[in-house]
């Protein structure tokens, strides 16, 4: 109530949802619009959606072979060609992946990802990182709507997301959610659900164990940290469905991988991942 009175007397400044610069209608400023256009033109890992920075098959001397390229495939880990086929021009959902080509980052080459596809609006850097932190830590819940709109636009660039039956936000532990007052992933999922006319399953997945912050942990430490932290409380809405996990940031993929595995165990037909921010890949081994 007090906030509403204060905003009536002192209306909040209209600003760009990313960098916070003044904007006449709360829309993206020109600089951020150009920044996102640049990100949209980058090549990405065909599986995790990590941003690779350039188009082509050579990044820092690392060659990304295509299926049938036997000489180069002999240099890759076992099962790599199957991974390429699953996320190349036609993935396991039978949908064309417009951005994927055949590039796969080192992490996805080395690991068995339980999700079929992950994509993000932009890498977690610059004003994108600032926007996430304002939404997540500074109580700016209203940012979920414009960030959700950007996520919806990103989903439209990949045909696989059009088959989504329901959205599953990454849950927070009830104690942490009470402390913060909201779950930013739920807010993003609600905004997306309204825009895309897709139901949001907020109570299907729950976090039953509080875990320390993941910020400074390695990929293996994150996986250990998250063991037995989540459960599928209501498996019935999951069975036979194509689900898209919604979160604010994809870093190593540990959280969404564990959740994807649980959803598949509960009977999900396929699991996709959509986040606002993603990872920046160097292409180095």
d(CA 227, CA 221) in angstroms, rounded, equals 10
Q: Residue 250 belongs to what H/E stretch?
A: none
Structure tokens at 169: 């936000």
- Does some domain include residue 15? no
Is the predicted pLDDT of residue 253 greater than 50, yes or no?
yes
Which residue would you say has higher pLDDT here, 95 or 31?
Answer: 31
Contact 59, 88 (CB under 8 A): no
Q: Structural domain tally of the chain?
A: 1
pLDDT at 229: 82
- Does some domain include residue 1? no
d(CA 131, CA 20) in angstroms, rounded, equals 8
- Does some domain include residue 149? yes
- Does some domain include residue 259? yes
State the residue range of the domain holding 89.
Answer: 30-212+220-278
pLDDT at 168: 98
pLDDT at 112: 87
Q: What is the CATH number of the domain that holds 118?
A: 3.40.50
- Does some domain include residue 201? yes
- Does some domain include residue 8? no
d(CA 72, CA 285) in angstroms, rounded, equals 15
**Three-class DSSP category at 211:** coil
pLDDT digits (tens, 9 = 90+) for 4-51: 544 444 445 588 999 989 887 778 999 999 999 999 988 889 899 999
Compute CA distances 36 → 121, 133, 280, whole Å: 8, 18, 14
Please state the pTM of the whole predicted model. 0.81
Compute CA distances 151 → 5, 47, 79, 145, 148, whole Å: 32, 17, 31, 10, 5
Structure tokens at 280: 């920046």
Contact 128, 277 (CB under 8 A): yes
């Amino acid at each position: 109530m007090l906030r509403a009175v204060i905003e009536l007397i002192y209306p909040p400044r209209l600003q760009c949802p990313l960098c916070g610069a003044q904007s006449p209608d709360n829309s993206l400023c020109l600089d951020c619009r150009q920044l996102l256009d640049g990100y949209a033109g980058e090549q990405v890992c065909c599986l995790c959606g990590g941003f690779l920075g350039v188009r082509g098959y050579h990044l820092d001397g690392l060659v990304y072979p295509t299926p049938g390229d036997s000489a180069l495939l002999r240099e890759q880990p076992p099962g790599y060609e199957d991974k390429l086929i699953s996320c190349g021009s036609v993935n396991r959902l039978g949908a064309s992946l417009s951005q994927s080509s055949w590039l796969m980052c080192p992490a996805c080459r080395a690991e068995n990802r339980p999700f079929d596809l992950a994509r993000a609006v932009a890498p977690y850097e610059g004003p994108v990182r600032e926007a996430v932190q304002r939404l997540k830590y500074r109580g700016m819940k209203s940012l979920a709507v414009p960030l959700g709109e950007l996520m919806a636009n990103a989903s439209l660039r990949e045909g696989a997301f059009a088959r989504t039956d329901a959205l599953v936000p990454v849950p927070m532990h009830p104690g942490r959610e009470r402390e913060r007052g909201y779950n930013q992933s739920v807010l993003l999922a609600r905004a997306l659900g309204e825009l895309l006319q897709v139901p949001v399953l907020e109570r299907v997945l729950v976090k039953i164990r509080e875990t320390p912050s993941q910020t400074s942990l390695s990929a293996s430490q994150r996986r250990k940290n998250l063991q037995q932290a989540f459960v599928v409380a209501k498996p019935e809405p999951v069975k036979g469905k194509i689900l898209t996990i919604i979160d604010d940031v994809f870093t190593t993929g540990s959280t969404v991988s564990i959740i994807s595995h649980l959803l598949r165990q509960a009977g999900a037909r396929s699991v996709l991942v959509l986040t606002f921010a993603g990872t920046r890949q160097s292409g180095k081994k």
